[in-house]
Amino acid sequence: MAGVGKLLKQAQKMQRQIETLQTQLEAKEFDVTSGGGAVKVKINGAGKFVSLTLDPEFLKEDAKLVSDTILAAIQDGAKQAKEYNDSEMQKVTSAFQMPGLF
């Protein structure tokens, strides 16, 4: 049953790497702008929104334009964070091979 022991060690190593990665993802931040810089969103690699800044002059615009621009910035930030998160997680988990499952 040496194979089971090896799998357990691989799983423990992967778990430690994931824990380290989660800390790194929380520290990585993405700055996203929309509306020519009128909307600024900051999101971390774990997908948590850190800040939202709105140009006061921009708030004088049509409400639909303001909400669409804010939504676009949020969606773009979420997409960037998810792609980064998925890419980094893939690097950690790709080394773990379980015979018969893949």
CATH at residue 57: 3.30.1310.10
Looking at the structure of the chain, the number of domains it has is: 1
Q: With respect to residue 57, please indicate whether it lies within any of the assigned structural domains.
A: yes
pTM of the model: 0.78
Determine the structural domain holding residue 82 and report its residue range.
Answer: 31-95
Contacts 24+ apart (CB under 8 A), 10-15: 10/95, 10/96, 10/97, 11/96, 14/92, 14/93, 14/95, 14/96
Mean pLDDT of 47-67: 96
Q: Is residue 21 part of a domain?
A: no
Render pLDDT for 63-77 as a digit per residue (tens, 0 to 9). Answer: 999 999 999 999 999
- Average pLDDT of the segment spanning 41-55: 96
Residue at 22 is within a domain: no
Instruction: Answer whether residue 101 shows pLDDT above 60.
Output: no
> Looking at per-residue confidence, does 98 or 15 come out higher?
15
